[in-house]
Each structure stands twice: as C-alpha cells, then as structure tokens.
Amino acid sequence: MMLASSQEGNVRIEEGVSSSTEKTEKTSPEKTRKIEPFELEKAQREEQNEEDEDGTENLEAALLPPSEQHRRQQKQQKPRVYFQRWIQLGYLSGLAMLSDWICFSVAASKDQFEELYEIEDSTKLIDWFLFTNVVSCFLVTDCVARMGLQRCIRAAAILMAIGACLRMLSSYVGYNYPLVLAGTLMVGAAQPFFQCTPPLLSAIWFASDERATSTAVA
C-alpha cells in the first residue's frame, strides 16, 4: 500500500509539473513578444529625425546675429522682478538729487555767503567739490566690485550725511570756512556712488525691457 501511494504521489507531481510547463509555454509568447525588424527601423528613423531637427534649430540659432540671439534668449528667460526695485531706485535718485543740491546751494546766495564766511570767491568751493567728484569717479568701479553695491551706497550715504552736518555746523561756530570746505569735499566724494551706479542697479533689479527707463530716471 505504501508503494502504491508513493507511485500515485509521483504521478500527481509529474502531472503538476507538466501542467505548469504547459501554462508557461502558453503565456511566455505573449509576455516576451519579439520586436519586428520594421518596428526597430521605424524607431531608429524617428530618433534620427528628432536629432536632425534639434541640429537644424541649433545651427539656425548659431547663424543669427548676436543681437537676435540675445533677444531670443531674453524671450525664453522670464526674470522675476519685485516691487521693491522701484523703492531702491527712489533711494538712489533721492541721494543723487540731494548731493546736487548741496553742491550748488552756494550759488543761490553767492554775495551773502562770501560776506559771512569772509572769502573772496565762493565759486572755488564748487571747484573743490567737482575736483573731488572726478577723483572719486575712478574709485567707484573698484569699490563696488570688492564690497558690493549695497555696502558702497550705504557708506556713501553716511559720508554725505556727515558732510552735510559739517556744513550746517559751520554756521554755528562763527561761520568756519574750513569746516564747510571739509563737508563739501565729503559730499563730493560720495556723489559718484549715486550717479555712476544706476546702470548696475538696473541690471540687478529690473527686467531687460525696464532697464533703459530706470537708468534714465536715476
């Protein structure tokens, strides 16, 4: 009996194995479908056409003038701008205007200024201002490159404020001309940082179609 049962078990195992192999043979052709040659050629042709189109577009873009290439790049890139850019522009414009007022404030009352400060020619004060202004212009680019635009504008604003205070205090200490001269030189040294940096401010804060307007306003 034990021999008969073992034989029956072996028969059942062989039947299970044969049935599983038959199932795999039936399902395997569906799962592993062969790629036909014409399908492979079609895929290769589509890939080649895409590469040719990309190459043609790159070649056409390379043959365009630099101005046209720059214009296309600007269209593709949409910069993100902030409302604060107008506030920054207002700060810079206001500082530049104040420095001009300080420079030419003497011209409004030339005779009275010469009488109070006991000098012969008040226009020399403006000459010293302009001379300091020109010298400072040669330092603006290097200072901004090393310390950054923000720090330079802040330092120049503080320097101009100190110079304006010295000019004001000169009238309270017996109309001291050296004191008003020192204050004028400080303002003259600070002014180029307000008048030479608007293009840089526009390049940092404004979009390409706004830079001409922002630079003109500043």
- Quickly count: other Cβ atoms within 10 Å of residue 171's Cβ: 13
- What mean pLDDT, rounded, does the chain reach? 77
DSSP 8-state assignment for residue 107: G
Q: How confident is the model at residue 181 (pLDDT cuts 50, 70, 90)?
A: very high
Q: Tell which residue, 154, 124, 137, has the closest CA to residue 188.
A: 137
> In the numeric block, which tokens belong to residue 216?
């003109």
Mean pLDDT on 146-171: 94
User: Tell me, what's the pLDDT at 74?
Assistant: 61
Mean pLDDT on 187-193: 95
Residues near 136 by Cβ (< 8 Å), separated by ≥ 6?
188, 189, 190, 191, 192, 193
- Cα(134)–Cα(136) distance, integer angstroms: 5
Q: Where are the alpha helices (DSSP H) in the chain?
A: 2-31, 37-63, 66-76, 84-104, 110-117, 123-147, 149-169, 177-190, 192-195, 198-205, 211-217
pTM of the full predicted structure?
A: 0.62
Say whether pLDDT at 103 is over 50.
yes
Q: Tell which residue, 138, 143, 142, has the closest CA to residue 156.
A: 143
